[in-house]
Amino acid sequence: MKLFADTANVEELEALVPLGIIDGVTTNPSLLAKAAADPRAVLKRICDVVGGPVSAEVVATDAAGMVREGRELAAIDPHVVVKVPFGKPGVRACRELTEDGIRVNVTLIFSAAQALLAAKVGATFVSPFVGRLDDVATPGMDLITQIVDIFQNFPLSTEVLVASTRGPMHIVEAARLGADVCTCPPKVIDALFNHPLTDIGLERFLADWARARQPVG
């Protein structure tokens, strides 16, 4: 499963990318709004740092505006994947952008039916939001099970990108269910590293080693 970082913070990415575990990045208007610099310059820097797919979302709400904005975003860097919100304008824009050879991530997916429609118009990624479903007492990972099952029934090239992840178990479950990609905030990626037994184990190994090397007598 590919791991994407869900952030528009270049410094966070500069710390994560050298670890070799980050395959791409997702941003959204809320994340880009936190960056002080010009959003297009931020996106370009992210593409340079990551060297993998970087989702950049349109803010137009009509299909023609989404296509126009999507083309502008795609011109920033070949790594840009244009993100469009699900809906009739988004589906239409996805079809047009895909026909132009531009990769599209259809976002704000909350049902398997929506994912199926996005796949039909050639989306490169569909982004079901598991955390926001959990927030309204609906199991987000059940949606991933449904979408992965449906996509296995047809020769679709659309990848299931699990989004809105809130903790390590979302990532573990996404991998177990066979999702193609999981995008996570950097703090969730950090949490994947943690296990108290690893810390205790290392402490003991180092203590034993230091004791054995103390001069005798």
Residue 28 binds to ligand E4P (criterion: CB under 6 A): yes
- Identify the CA nearest to 91 among candidates 114, 70, 75: 114
Coil, strand or helix at 180: coil
Q: How far is the CB of 162 from ligand E4P (least distance, A)?
A: 9
Q: Which of 111, 132, 146, 178 binds ligand E4P (CB under 6 A)?
A: 132
Residue matched to tokens 């569909």:
126
Q: How far is the CB of 214 from ligand E4P (least distance, A)?
A: 50
95's tokens? 């079809």
**Stretch in the footprint of ligand E4P (CB under 6 A) among 17-25, 64-72, 125-133, 191-199:** 125-133
Helical (H) or strand (E) element with 84: strand 80-85
Q: Which of 6, 69, 159, 173 binds ligand E4P (CB under 6 A)?
A: 6
Helical (H) or strand (E) element with 24: strand 24-26
Within 10 angstroms of residue 15's Cβ, the number of other Cβ atoms is 12
Instruction: Count the residues in the chain.
Output: 217
Does the active-site annotation cover 2? no
Q: Nearest 10 degrees: CA dihedral of 162, 121, 86, 182?
A: 10
Site string for ligand E4P, 45-84 (x = CB under 6 A): ----------------------------------------
Residue 129 binds to ligand E4P (criterion: CB under 6 A): yes
Residues marked active site are found at 83
Site of interaction with ligand E4P (CB under 6 A): 6, 26, 28, 107, 127, 129, 131-132, 163-164, 183
